[in-house]
């Protein structure tokens, strides 16, 4: 198995939580409306964001953070409902997909990382061995909310503090075990595919991640939680909101279901709710 080269010093510095905390404070500043709107329009033009999809008007945003975490107009993301199909949890790009026969996931060609490390322990990973996984990368231009790809119930969760390396091509190339080293929060579910979990992975400039099943604040110096019961249990329908990223990042989906196959080409853009994986 190939080993990625050690991260360069500048990348280690960029991964420090203080960098993303500072960015978080910046995007939550209340700038004059005219300045904020100009900044949002410039950002949208550079990253080719369709502002007409936003549920709120440009004048309704009070901070850049409001814009990053914007909701969409109802009906813009139809959700695949076929019981043999797992829907995409987010807008982004399908960056990896495969089986968990060896309890490993592919980070890049020839570079793997373990399911145990990703989820925080061997017992956490046991239900998914031999199953399937998919990774969706969210760029800064994407819609930043994450939704349930299945009908199911969140039964347990775990918060794993860590670094905040970038999850783009730079991080993929230089940081071995990237998604198992970055801060992340895991929601374990019982679904129509059996046991399944969704992992929201933090990244550089992702100041916070919020999820529907706990008020715990990410990237604020909190210690890891260990595996926690979800109390009360949280039932999620397909397309229901699971969590929110500030800026872009990555979502990893793992399932005990064997043989799930990609329904879009690897590396291609996907929309939240689009059929992502399916049974033959």
| 42 exposure class (CB count in 10 Å sphere: 0-12, 13-18, 19+) | exposed
Q: What percent of the chain has pLDDT over 90?
A: 70
81: pLDDT strictly greater than 90: yes
Active-site pick, 20, 132, 147, 188? 147
**Closest to 209 (Cα-Cα) out of 153, 172, 134, 159:** 159
Is there a catalytic annotation at residue 249? Answer: yes
pTM, two decimals, is 0.92
E strands of 30-143, at which residues?
85-87, 92-99, 104-108, 111-114, 132-137
- The answer to whether the bond into 30 is cis (omega within 30° of 0) is no
Q: Is the pLDDT of residue 2 over 50?
A: no
Question: Do 198 and 87 touch, CB atoms closer than 8 A?
Answer: no
255 labelled catalytic: no
CB-CB neighbours of 153 under 10 Å: 13
1 pLDDT more than 60: no
Which helix or strand (DSSP H or E) is residue 178 part of? helix 178-181
Residue 188 a catalytic site member? no
Mean pLDDT of 192-210: 89
Asked whether 144 and 246 are in contact (CB, 8 A), the reply is yes
Domain extents in the chain: 16-68, 85-278
Tell me which of 20, 54, 88, 91 is the catalytic residue. Answer: 91
């Amino acid at each position: 198995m190939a080993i990625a080269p050690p991260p360069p010093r500048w990348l280690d510095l960029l991964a420090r939580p203080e960098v993303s905390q500072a960015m978080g404070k910046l995007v939550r500043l209340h700038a004059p409306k005219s300045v904020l709107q100009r900044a949002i329009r410039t950002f949208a033009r550079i990253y080719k964001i369709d502002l007409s999809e936003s549920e709120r008007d440009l004048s309704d945003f009070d901070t850049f953070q409001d814009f990053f975490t914007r909701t969409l107009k109802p009906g813009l993301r139809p959700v695949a409902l076929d019981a043999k199909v797992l829907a995409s949890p987010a807008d982004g790009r399908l960056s990896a997909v495969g089986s968990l026969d060896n309890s490993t996931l592919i980070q890049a060609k020839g570079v793997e990382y373990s399911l145990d490390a990703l989820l925080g322990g061997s017992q956490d990973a046991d239900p998914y061995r031999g199953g399937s996984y998919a990774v969706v990368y969210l760029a800064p231009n994407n819609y930043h909310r994450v939704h349930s790809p299945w009908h199911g119930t969140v039964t347990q969760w775990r918060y794993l503090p860590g670094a905040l390396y970038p999850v783009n091509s730079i991080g993929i190339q230089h940081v071995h075990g990237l998604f198992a080293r970055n801060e992340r929060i895991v929601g374990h579910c019982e679904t129509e595919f059996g046991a399944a979990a969704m992992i929201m992975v933090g990244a550089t400039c992702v100041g916070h991640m919020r999820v529907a099943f706990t008020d715990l604040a990410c990237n604020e110096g909190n210690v890891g939680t260990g595996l926690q019961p979800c109390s009360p249990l949280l039932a999620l329908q397909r397309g229901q909101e699971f969590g929110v990223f500030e800026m872009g990042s990555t979502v990893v989906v793992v399932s005990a279901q064997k043989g799930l196959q990609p329904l879009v080409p690897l590396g291609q853009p996907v929309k939240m709710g689009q059929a992502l994986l399916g049974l033959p």
